[in-house]
């Protein structure tokens, strides 16, 4: 029996495998503001076609990282690469759509003038007619021609955010860097924004989604990086982050709550007011649901955990001590 592999026997007819570099790559990326840490030793790789969630509380270093990636600020040490090229190259940014977290637009321009101006700065138009793409985006985000004809200074926060979103998406970039993209938007428009991100991913684009809103990250992202005090605290798939997080649950029992039974299924009682209990449910929820099915329940809700709660749940074990580095 021959032990030669096909690669050994037919080297000339195989096309060389092209491995594209990560769309975003940070190598020990560090930025200090005086003695204050912006980000420190950040290592990160984001691949093509991925929606990457970037989570962290205020001051964790999310915006600093984004500004480093876009060469708006300079690294103290380390390196940021976009499409395999150092991020200082301005040409790279024709492939990027960026929405800043604190969006500022020129109040003296109309929405349409602003979009045209930003499109002119973008230089290289994406595939398809940029005007058609812009019209489609405006239509989907609920920006009417009347709105676009008004001065930006008359816009609400949400309207400005919509213009910023159109500006980020209008040239169909290969990489979208979106810092809190749904801020100030109503739930319907938020939904459209999440759809646009998913569509961009389906079209082969990469999305770097910095957010505070866990449910949005949960719905859209493939992987999530959690930043704390300028350092990468965790890099997880969304599934892992779900398992790592602790759900909160509020249950209204018609009768006396079965406290012993709740403890037996792993639910931790946080608070009790009469028949209403607030529970922390780490891990599997199925045993708790089975228990609840045996008792008359008036009402049940799952409050969205705040980012802080999620972080607390993630960083603390059952005894309440901080998770040590190297702990599972």
CB of 140 to another protein, least distance (A): 22
C-beta of 94 vs 136, nearer to another protein? 94
Does residue 108 bind another protein (CB under 8 A)?
A: yes
Note whether 104 binds another protein by CB under 8 A: yes
Q: How many residues does the chain have?
A: 328
User: Per rule CB under 8 A, is residue 125 in the interface with another protein?
Assistant: no
86 near another protein (CB under 8 A): no
Burial class (CB in 10 A: 0-12, 13-18, 19+), 155: buried
Judged by DSSP in three states, 171 sits in coil
Residue 312 CA to residue 328 CA, distance in Å, equals 16
Q: Between 157 and 272, name the residue whose CB sits nearer to another protein.
A: 157
Nearest distance in Å: CB 74, another protein: 6
Q: Nearer to another protein by C-beta: 56 or 173?
A: 173
What the block records as the tokens of 184 is 């100030």
Structure token digits, residue 316? 């603390």
Instruction: Scan residues 167-206 and list those touching another protein (CB under 8 A).
Output: 167
User: Does residue 96 touch another protein according to CB under 8 A?
Assistant: yes
Instruction: Determine, following the binding rule CB under 8 A, whether residue 92 of this chain makes contact with another protein.
Output: yes
Q: Are 39 and 230 in contact (CB under 8 A)?
A: yes
Stretch that binds another protein, among 99-107, 227-235, 266-274, 279-287 (CB under 8 A): 99-107
For another protein, the binding residue among 102, 256, 294, 324 (CB under 8 A) is: 102
Alpha-carbon separation of residue 306 from 76, 147, 206, 299 (angstroms): 32, 34, 27, 21
Q: Provide the strand spans (E) within 180-246.
A: 206-211, 223-228, 231-237
Query: Is 142 one of the binding residues for another protein (CB under 8 A)?
Result: no
User: Which of 75, 9, 84 has its CA nearest to residue 37?
Assistant: 75
Cβ at position 31, least distance to another protein in Å: 9
Residue reference for tokens 């040590």 = 324
Residue 24, interface with another protein (CB under 8 A)?
no
Backbone angles phi, psi at 299, to 5 degrees: -155, 150
Select from 28, 84, 85, 123 the one that contacts another protein (CB under 8 A).
Answer: 123
Q: Which of residues 45-74 bind another protein (CB under 8 A)?
A: 67, 70-74
Q: Among 307, 111, 142, which residue's Cα sits nearest to residue 210?
A: 307
Q: Which residues bind another protein (CB under 8 A)?
A: 67, 70-74, 90-94, 96, 98, 100, 102-106, 108, 117-118, 120-124, 167
């Amino acid at each position: 029996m021959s032990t030669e592999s096909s690669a050994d026997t037919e080297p000339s007819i195989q096309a060389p495998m092209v491995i594209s570099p990560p769309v975003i790559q940070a190598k020990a990326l560090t930025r200090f503001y005086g003695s204050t840490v912006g980000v420190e030793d950040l290592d990160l790789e984001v691949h093509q076609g991925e929606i990457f969630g970037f989570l962290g509380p205020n001051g964790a270093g999310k915006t600093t990282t984004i500004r480093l990636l876009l060469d708006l600020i300079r690294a103290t040490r380390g390196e940021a690469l976009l499409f395999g090229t150092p991020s200082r190259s301005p040409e790279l940014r024709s492939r990027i759509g960026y929405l800043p977290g604190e969006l500022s637009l020129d109040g003296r321009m109309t929405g349409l003038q602003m979009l045209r101006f930003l499109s002119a700065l973008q230089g290289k138009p994406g595939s398809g007619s940029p005007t058609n793409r812009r019209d489609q985006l405006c239509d989907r985000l609920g920006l009417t021609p009347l709105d676009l004809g008004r001065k930006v200074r008359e816009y609400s926060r949400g309207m400005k955010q919509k213009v910023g979103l159109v500006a980020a998406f209008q040239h169909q970039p290969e990489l979208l860097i979106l810092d809190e993209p749904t801020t100030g938007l109503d739930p319907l428009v938020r939904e459209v924004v999440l759809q646009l991100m998913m569509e961009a991913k389906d079209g082969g684009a990469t999305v770097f989604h910095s957010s505070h809103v866990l449910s949005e990250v949960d719905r859209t992202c493939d992987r999530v990086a959690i930043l704390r005090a300028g350092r990468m605290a965790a890099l997880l798939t969304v599934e892992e982050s779900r398992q790592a997080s602790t759900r909160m649950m509020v249950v209204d029992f018609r009768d006396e709550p079965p406290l012993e039974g709740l403890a037996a299924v792993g639910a931790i009682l946080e608070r009790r007011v009469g028949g209403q209990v607030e529970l922390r449910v780490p891990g599997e929820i199925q045993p708790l649901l089975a228990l609840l099915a045996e008792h008359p329940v008036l009402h049940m809700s799952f409050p969205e955990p705040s980012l802080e709660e999620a972080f607390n749940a993630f960083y603390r074990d059952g005894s309440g001590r901080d998770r040590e580095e190297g702990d599972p």
